[in-house]
Amino acid sequence: MASIKDVAAEAGVSVATVSRVLNGHPSVSEDARRRVTAAVTALGYRPNAVARSLRTDQTRTLGLVISDVLNPYFTELARSVEEEARALGYSVIIGNADERPDLQDHHVRTLLDRRIDGLLVSPTDGGSPGMLDAARAGTPMVFVDRWIPGVDVPVVRADGRSAVRDLVAHLHALGHRRLAIIAGPAATTTGRERVDAFREALAAFGLELPDAYIGQGDFQAESGRRVTEGFLDLPEPPEVVFAADNLMVLGALDAVRARGLRVPDDIALAAFDDIRWFVHTDPPITAIAQPTDELGRAAVRALIDRVEGRTGESVTLPARLVVRRSCGADPASGQNPTAVQRSTS
């Protein structure tokens, strides 16, 4: 592969001059610029980003460590992150933690070894050692979706509180009183917050959230299945199961189906995180939708602010309820008296 030396030789100038035209430095004669450009195309020369990074101490690359690539929520997030980063002149390298702290650590370490300029993380657990090190070492960093309390890093996330209130109002209006939740890992903020928001919303309606109605999931489908089976085995099973993410509701559907029960007649279902397929499941699933795209973009902007020496700010965007049929409502019938946004599809 041609190097800058080859280009210099071909153009009859020094490598310094080649470098200058490559980087758009103003003080280069028109003649030199022309010859270098010609040499570059003649040789099909592409600057070696590795060498450039070593010299300039910047890679123009962001690292993104997500909890699970197989979860459509994170996949959408990754896409918007990459788009915004590209628009701002950065590349992004994605690491998939698969909800495993050790894998998360592996990726953080690898990314840091590659000297990425900044790190975007949706932490899998309460903070793996490598992650904490990175934060302490002052690596420009921002958390997306999930965060780690006590670590001084901006957080870009959705606030589901009001949407969860809308959901509970919706369920209450439909006559449901026994509401259960499949929680995410207690070590994650989203795992805890969604339970808290749910409990608070229930309290506003004078309802309790008994321990038996809090199932411990791990954001994976299998845990949703297992927890739901537990609920169905209860002497008094819940009337509604609210899954804290879209994969666990998949598992819940599996479990309900395996028992030969019907949604919403026998049991109602709802989920945090909306995905396109929810329109076509049987029945269509009521969900809380995050502004995923904007979250990804805001996170990138905050991170690049930090990277370039500005102060990146935390951002919180509201999530919203999308009512479909899985809780018993017919969105078109106007049965539901509370003011919630309805699905248009």
Query: What are the residues binding its own copies (CB under 8 A)?
Result: 1, 44, 46-51, 53-54, 59, 69-70, 72, 75-76, 78-79, 82, 86, 91, 93-94, 96, 98, 106, 109-110, 112-115, 133, 137, 221, 250, 253-254, 257, 276-277, 279-283, 345
Segment contacting DNA (CB under 7 A): 50-58, 84-92, 167-175, 264-272?
50-58
How near is the Cβ of 307 to DNA at its closest, in Å? Answer: 16
CA-nearest of 57, 55, 20 to 40 is 20
Q: Binding DNA by CB under 7 A: which of 9, 32, 103, 173? A: 32
Three-class DSSP category at 289:
strand
Which of DNA, its own copies, none interacts with 152 (beta carbon under 5 to 8 A by kind)? none
Q: Binding DNA by CB under 7 A: which of 34, 38, 42, 56? A: 56
Q: Is 42 in the site for DNA (CB under 7 A)?
A: no
CA distance 136 to 7: 43
How near is the Cβ of 43 to DNA at its closest, in Å? Answer: 10
* Cα 90–Cα 95–Cα 101 angle in degrees, nearest 5: 140
Q: Is 28 in the site for DNA (CB under 7 A)?
A: yes
> Considering beta carbons, is residue 31 or 233 the nearer one to DNA?
31
Q: Are 300 and 62 in contact (CB under 8 A)?
A: yes
CA distance 249 to 265: 17
Angstrom distances, CA of residue 93 to CA of 100, 108, 219, 232? 18, 11, 23, 42
Does the CA dihedral 305-306-312-314 come out positive or negative? positive
Three-class DSSP category at 35:
helix
Residue type, position 110, single letter: T
Which of its own copies, DNA, none interacts with 4 (beta carbon under 5 to 8 A by kind)? DNA
Q: Are 250 and 221 in contact (CB under 8 A)?
A: yes
List contacts with DNA (CB under 7 A): 1, 3-5, 13-20, 22-23, 26-29, 31-32, 45, 47-48, 51-52, 54-57
